[in-house]
Structure 1
Amino acid sequence: MVFEYILKKNGLDPSTDLTIDQSISFGLTAAAFTSSDADYTIEFEPFATTLELEGNGSVVASLGTESGYVPYTAYSARKSYIKQHPEVIQSFTNAIQRGLDYVNSHSSEEIAKTISPQFKETPLDKLTQIVERYKAQDTWKEDTVFEESSFELLERILEEAGQLKETVPYKELVTTEFSTKAVK
């Protein structure tokens, strides 16, 4: 949906100007790209960097950079849960904020070493390169505050993709109370 939004934003019609094959399983798109006649693929890391390092492709753009801050990761809880367990929500938000503080204050090498146990199949030098790309693209925000402009961008993308029939007011779905406290 984000890719199609970016195409439209740049004057291309995804239904007439190109062919998008969405039949390929998410984890197999890089392999399919190298063995087919496709001109482009959309990849998350570490697959994008792997394609480059193997000489099978080049990263030409970042969907995140081209789209603006789309909240790819957002956490949801029932209002009743938030009301009954605010300390759990605050602790969780504080932990995410500490993670953002860490990635925004440490080098790519330090971050790569820290996260390497979670990516055992990815060599440290490649992981460092991936983190550096994320830093250069300004992937990590400074805080966990879900801004209204990002919410509206997400709604616009969902609407254009035919996945959202009507918008919902930001204040009805989003609370920044815990994020604001976590920043302090």
Structure 2
Amino acid sequence: MKGKITAFITAIALMLCPLSLTACNDDGKTTVRLCEVTHSIFYAPLYIAQNKGYFDEENIKIELSNGGGADKVMTSVISGSADIGLMGPEATI
């Protein structure tokens, strides 16, 4: 029984760890560094939400950068210079 409780607490702690990696600005907004492979119509919902101020309403600042290729986007996510990477499945091949 103790082992199950310890495993449960460890699992919860591991799930909460990524939340501590987000950065906050002086203005109190959480910064999310997003790297995209290229400007694409597929990411239109992101662009619309950004232009309409939906992220600002939730105190989120999006730092959008263009990676210039799926391999470079994947590298930026793995190295920690980006929090989220938008790319196609070719990065896994």
TM-score tier (shorter):
0.3 to 0.5
TM-score (ref. length: structure 1):
0.20
More strand by share: 2
Higher relative contact order (CA 8 A, sep 6+): 2
Rg comparison, structure with higher value: 1
